[in-house]
A = this chain, B = another copy of it.
Amino acid sequence: MLTHFPPHEPDRMPPLSLAVRVGDLLFVSGMGPFDAEWRIARDDFPAQMRAVLDWLDRVLAEAGTDRSRIVKTNVLLTREQDIPEMNRLYAAWFGGGPYPARTTAVVRALPVPDFLLEIECVAAVG
């Protein structure tokens, strides 16, 4: 009844699935800003945001859904100053809406010191 979408390179990842499907809902882990070579664009918020959004697209596609079917996101940031840019890139990625429900918070730290953000989501699937 649960379908796990494990990481393709588990040695690089903590103990988690990228996403798990239950019924018609997909719960997606907080995606971090690694690029395709597992690098982090230190202090470059727009690049990190693009990397996170690319991860979301890949995970959603693997589970048979896409960004238009995201129900809820949580955006976790480490710097308040990045909120306006996050909103600009986020709105563009969703093509002007309709938008998911969302909560945004600035936390003290994310699991990797150079992370400036993570985004997790719940999406409809099937």
Interface residues of A in 96-112 (CB under 8 A from B): 97-111
Closest-by-CB residue of B relative to A16 is B102
Whether the Cβ atoms of B111 and A109 lie closer than 8 Å is no
- Say if the beta carbon of A27 comes within 8 Å of chain B: yes
Which residues of chain A have a CB within 8 Å of any CB of chain B?
1-2, 4, 6, 14-20, 22-25, 27-30, 69, 71-72, 74, 76, 80, 83, 87, 90-91, 94, 97-111, 113, 118, 120, 122, 124
Give the CA-CA distance A124 to B109 in the complex, in Å.
Answer: 30
Whether the Cβ atoms of A106 and B109 lie closer than 8 Å is yes
Tell me whether A124 and B15 are in contact in the complex, defined as CB-CB below 8 angstroms, given that A105-B107, A106-B110, A118-B103 are known contacts: no
